[in-house]
Amino acid sequence: MYKTVLITGASRGIGRAIACAFAREGCRLVINCSHSEKELLALADELRETCHVDVLTSIGDVSDYTYMEQLFSQSEARFGGIDILVNNAGISHIGLLEDMTIDEWNRIIGVNLTSVFSASKLALPHMIHQKSGKILNISSIWGNVGASCEVAYSACKGGINSFTRALAKELAPSNIQVNAIACGVIDTEMNSCFSEEERAQLAEEIPAGRFGAPEEVASLAVQITTGNDYLTGQIITLDGGYL
């Protein structure tokens, strides 16, 4: 498979695993992060050496539309356009809604939801021109059911789910598929806030008896974006039977 894949938030966790999975498939990569430049550059070097793929790195804030325009301009100059877009970048916020500031609200909406709009909009001209393309949004089970003390995060992920379904209908005539993975509890730094006791208690609540691995999300991401062109508008839950 000789495709160009753009992955936001790729320096660690799920994004890193997805970048590695696509590199093993021989894809050219555009990988982004906002702060972890050292980790992102190290990942790029690793993938160039082990998978022999071309990797473009970019450091910037995905909530900034001007930066996103620059990112896609650089990607098009290097590779001619994006064939597969993975909207993975995300941040969390845990706390009572009454204690949340408007700046904190705007920040999480910008990074988690507005970035999905920006990247999708900017990816579309190339995809529509070639009458093919895949957009995959990394969502959460909390976008399906909501989580106490994570109102803003849940709202973002719920918005991503509706965005996915609506855009899939809009783009189906152009042979562009849009899907999302609603992740359960995945073993990443985002869940490092739990103590060992809390992790054990949470794992007991999951029928699979454990947290998911980033590599499992990555494997599903590759399957969704390289397989059936009739699969679109779906929110695919990956949670070990949790909900």
- Per-residue pLDDT tens digits for 66-104: 999 999 999 999 999 999 999 999 999 999 999 999 999
How far separated are the first and last CA of the chain, in Å rounded? Answer: 35
Q: Checking DSSP bridges between strand 55-59 and strand 4-7, what pairing results, if any?
A: unpaired
**3-class DSSP state for residue 61?**
coil
Q: Nearest-CA neighbor of 90 among 26, 219, 186? A: 186
Higher-pLDDT residue of 25 and 2 is 25
pLDDT digits (tens, 9 = 90+) for 20-74: 999 999 999 999 999 999 999 999 999 999 999 999 999 999 999 999 999 999 9
Task: Give catalytic status of residue 153 as yes or no.
Answer: yes
pLDDT bucket at 1, cuts 50 / 70 / 90: low
CA-nearest of 213, 214, 202 to 242 is 202
| Domain residue spans of the chain | 4-238
- The per-residue pLDDT for range 105-124, each reduced to its tens digit, is 999 999 999 999 999 999 99
Q: pTM value?
A: 0.96
**Residue 199 scores a pLDDT above 80:** yes
Q: Are the CB atoms for 235 and 180 separated by under 8 Å?
A: yes
Q: Which residues contact 33 (CB under 8 A, 6 or more apart)?
A: 9, 10, 11, 12, 15, 39, 40, 59, 89
pLDDT at residue 191, rounded to an integer: 74
Is pLDDT at 2 greater than 80 in this prediction?
no
Superfamily, domain 4-238: NAD(P)-binding Rossmann-like Domain (3.40.50.720)
pLDDT at res. 195: 82
Q: Residue 179: helix, strand or coil by DSSP? A: strand
Active-site position among 67, 153, 230, 242: 153
